[in-house]
Amino acid sequence: DMKVTQMPRYLIKRMGENVLLECGQDMSHETMYWYRQDPGLGLQLIYISYDVDSNSEGDIPKGYRVSRKKREHFSLILDSAKTNQTSVYFCASSFDWGASYEQYFGPGTRLTVL
């Protein structure tokens, strides 16, 4: 079953707390992504991972870092969360980073930073 999972689905944190969002995929995809989705802005790319320990910044990496120690897992870390990081975060994976491959998205994590 081709699936991308995300945990947790909902999270409420206070400003300054650390946040860990986890993503898993069962398709052995090399490439994984983290996006955030805000109303009227579509999907904004935070980070891409091309494989284990091979990560690259996206359009809005400031305030975020990632970790990929196993091909099937990709984590997004917010050190000292800020209120403007309240958003819905999506993880995605694709077979490769080439343009012809579709991205498979997880169900999202709704993060609220108070």
Partner 1 sequence: QQKVQQSPESLIVPEGGMASLNCTFSDRNSQYFWWYRQHSGEGPKALMSIFSNGDKKEGRFTAHLNKASLYVSLHIKDSQPSDSALYFCAVSPIFHNTGNYKYVFGAGTRLKVIA
Complex with partner 1: residue 28 or 42, whichever CB lies closer: 42
Rule CB under 8 A: say whether 97 interacts with partner 1. Answer: yes
> With contact defined as beta carbons under 8 Å apart, do 74 and 68 qualify?
yes
> With contact defined as beta carbons under 8 Å apart, do 91 and 75 qualify?
no
Give the interface size with partner 1 as a residue count (CB under 8 A).
Answer: 27
Complex with partner 1: residue 12 or 41, whichever CB lies closer: 41
Residue 92 CB, nearest approach to partner 1 (Å): 8
Q: What contacts 60, CB < 8 A, 6 or more positions away?
A: 36, 44, 45, 46
Among residues 16, 8, 60, 69, which one has the least CA distance to residue 34? 60
Rule CB under 8 A: say whether 90 interacts with partner 1. Answer: yes
Place of tokens 């999202």: 108
Q: Which tokens sit at 31? A: 């490439």
Q: Which residues inside 27-66 make contact with partner 1, applying CB under 8 A?
A: 35, 40-45, 48, 50, 56-59
Residue 17 CB, nearest approach to partner 1 (Å): 25
Binding site for partner 1 (CB under 8 A): 4, 35, 40-45, 48, 50, 56-59, 90, 92, 97-100, 102-108
